[in-house]
Amino acid sequence: MTDTDKPYQLINALPDGAIVVDAAGLIMAANALAEDALGLKLPGVNVTAVLRNTAFSEALAQAREDGSPQTVDIEVRGRTPRQLSAHLAPMGKDGEVLILLRDLTREQAIEKMRSDFVANASHEMRTPLASIMGTIETLQGAAKNDAKARDMFLETMLGQARRMKRLIDDLLTLSRIELNEHVRPNAKVSLVDVARQAKSNLSSLAKEAKVSVEIASTSAVEVAGDAEELLQVVQNLLENAIKYGGSGGRVEISCEQTGRDGTLSVRDFGKGIAEVHIPRLTERFYRVNTQESRQRGGTGLGLAIVKHIMLRHRGRLDIDSDLGQGSAFSVSIPLYNS
């Protein structure tokens, strides 16, 4: 390292990408974060060839001209496009400029997810609310003195109000799990007991849908977890298997030990799920068929809840499905005391 390199060693200690350019725009030094963000070795290259952006070139000229710091947002195209915020700080009269680059790609993706979520949740709430309001107006007007119509409309309103309640309950469940996600639950939970409880809780739904539920293996598998949350997982999976995979007439639950995990699988023999949907099923409000989900009382949040309970348990969810053959949803959770 020569003496002239020394002043630039500081940039290696910075938490953001940093580049120093000379008066002609040639890069004299760059830290590893800047090279990572831009995907190439930087010293010796002209900065305007790397950050090809009119607003950036103008900010650089301005910083040199009046010696004032400038901030500008830049989109870097490429295989993985990135959103950067560049802060340009002139460093003295010989025209050197320090450029700090903050990668906003992840922050912006999270922000977008948050605003999409609020938009989706509001939309889901508004639909039943609009139906309830429309029904009330009808009851106040045209159907005012029609007892038969009144009973029918009240039934509709009750159905829509229940739908809103399910949605709010699921949203609250999700936020409660997310709040506790960093605390791993560690009580001893028997997977077979959870399977039996879920089967019993959903027995009337299964009966109505003419689906028989079998617990195929009864070997004692004990995992480290929270019994109530694991019951919710198995109930969500079993309810889906009955609602969407019920055409096969039967659902099978099995529990086994797989290495250091206990695995519980819920298998149905119904219509299955096309491969394109599988990676997205755990997204909030993602459904293969929105109308079918709504008709069956779905909120589009069941598998998102399963995913977050698994994250909290340091476990995982695997989905295996063949169109026309059925689906298997399996959760694997570390064994108790493993």
Report the interface residues with ligand ADP, using CB under 6 A: 236, 240-241, 244-245, 268, 270, 273, 281, 287-289, 293, 298-304, 327
Measured from the CB atom, the residue of 90 and 300 that comes closer to ligand ADP is 300
**Closest distance of CB 281 from ligand ADP, Å:** 5
Measured from the CB atom, the residue of 231 and 281 that comes closer to ligand ADP is 281
**Closest distance of CB 268 from ligand ADP, Å:** 5
Measured from the CB atom, the residue of 240 and 265 that comes closer to ligand ADP is 240
**Of residues 229, 317, 304, 313, the one with CA closest to residue 266:** 317
**Closest distance of CB 89 from ligand ADP, Å:** 48
CA 152, 153, 154, 157 torsion: positive or negative?
positive
**Closest distance of CB 241 from ligand ADP, Å:** 5
Measured from the CB atom, the residue of 20 and 211 that comes closer to ligand ADP is 211
Measured from the CB atom, the residue of 255 and 305 that comes closer to ligand ADP is 305
333 contacts: CB under 8 Å, gap ≥ 6: 223, 224, 225, 230, 261, 262, 263, 310, 313, 314, 315
**Closest distance of CB 109 from ligand ADP, Å:** 21
CB burial of 197-226 (b: ≥16 within 10 Å; e: otherwise) equals bbbeebeebbeebebebeeeeeeebbbbbb
SS3 142: coil
- Gap between the Cα atoms of 105 and 39, Å rounded: 15
